């Protein structure tokens, strides 16, 4: 199965919690991306799906550091399923576990 292309984002369905970052109840989910190559695909999108409503919050922006590539999703505080996708495999979601 080609889902192994993201080492940190692997198949699973454990919900993530958006940590509150403001008094208004906004939340943030952050993490690092990896890929079994020497690059992260430019078209990789990270999405957080609200567990209760199914609403999606997606972001394709990545922040490259010296040794890691990270993502940030600003979302309402709540429970989410977080996954990544690329255009090469549009029907495959690699979930965070």
Q: What is the dihedral of CA 10, 11, 17, 22, to 10 degrees?
A: 50
Q: What is the pLDDT of residue 19?
A: 56
Close Cβ partners of 57 (under 8 Å, ≥ 6 residues apart): 47, 48, 49, 50, 73, 74, 75, 80
Per-residue pLDDT of the chain (97 residues; tens, 9 = 90+): 333 333 333 333 445 655 555 555 688 999 998 777 788 888 999 999 999 999 999 998 999 888 888 999 999 988 999 999 988 888 888 887 6
Which residue do the tokens 């080609």 mark? Answer: 2
pTM: 0.71
């Amino acid at each position: 199965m080609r889902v192994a292309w993201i080492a940190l984002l692997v198949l699973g369905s454990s919900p993530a919690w958006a940590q509150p970052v403001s008094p208004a109840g906004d939340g943030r989910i952050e993490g690092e991306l990896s890929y079994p190559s020497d690059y992260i695909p430019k078209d990789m999108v990270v999405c957080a799906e609200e567990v209760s409503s199914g609403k999606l919050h997606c972001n394709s922006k990545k922040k490259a550091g010296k040794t890691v590539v990270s993502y940030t999703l600003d979302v309402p505080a709540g429970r989410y399923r977080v996954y990544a996708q690329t255009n090469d495999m549009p029907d495959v979601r690699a979930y965070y576990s």
